[in-house]
Amino acid sequence: MKFLCLICAEKVMEQMETADADSHYAEYAKFTEDIRASGHYISCNRLLPPSEATTIRVRNGRVSATDGPWIETREQLGGYYLIEARDLNEAIRIASRIPGAARGCVEIRPVAEDEQTVTALGFDKHP
């Protein structure tokens, strides 16, 4: 099963003291190397802070764009890992080692693998 681990924190890298961010990057480097080695890794990325976000909506065929995240929360989405795990408890075990889990929180979401989704997204034709 695939799980998306969404990392949320009150402070993203850009808002941290340099030394603090450096050590946080080092933790991420080690964790990412670990899950690459263990075979759980599929992909990951760090996101630029919500100040860089644009939210769009299409209504009546017109695009409207607004600054910032679409919802105000104290914790901001800072990045994600997509992992492969046997079940939710294995995903929890792996996600609990994401460095951000010790500072903010990590939301674990199973990736939909139902037939309709697979067909709609073309995974049956482009595996």
Partner 1 sequence: MSEPPHTDIRDARAAVDAVYRSESRRVFATLVRLLGDFDAAEEALHDAFRAALEQWPRDGVPDKPRAWLVSAGRFKAIDRIRRDARVDALDDHDTENIPAPETAETGDIEDDRLRLIFTCCHPALAPDAQVALTLREVCGLTTEEIARAFLSAPPTLAQRIVRAKNKIRDAKIPYRVPPPEELPQRLDSVLRVIYLVFNEGYAASSGATLTRHDLSGEAIRLARLVVELLPEPEAMGLLALMLLHESRRAARTDGNGDLVLLEDQDRSAWNRELIREGIALVEHALPLRRPGPYALQAAISAVHAEAADAAATDWAQITGLYDLLLRIAASPVVELNRAVAVAMRDGPAAGLALVEALLERGELEDYQLAHAARADLCRRLGRQGEARAAYRRALELTRQAPERRFLERRLAELGQQK
Query: Is 103:31 a contact under the CB 8 Å cutoff?
Result: no
Q: From the CB of 89, what's the least distance to partner 1, in Å? A: 5
Q: From the CB of 19, what's the least distance to partner 1, in Å? A: 16
Mark the segment that binds partner 1 (CB under 8 A) among 5-13, 48-56, 90-98, 117-125: 90-98
99-118: contacts with partner 1 (CB under 8 A):
110
How are beta strands 41-46 and 76-84 bridged, if at all? antiparallel
Q: Does 89 bind partner 1 (CB under 8 A)?
A: yes
Q: Does 46 bind partner 1 (CB under 8 A)?
A: no
Nearer to partner 1, 39 or 122 (CB): 39
Phi–psi pair at 116, nearest 5 degrees: -60, -40
DSSP string, 80-100: EEEEE-SSHHHHHHHHTTSGG
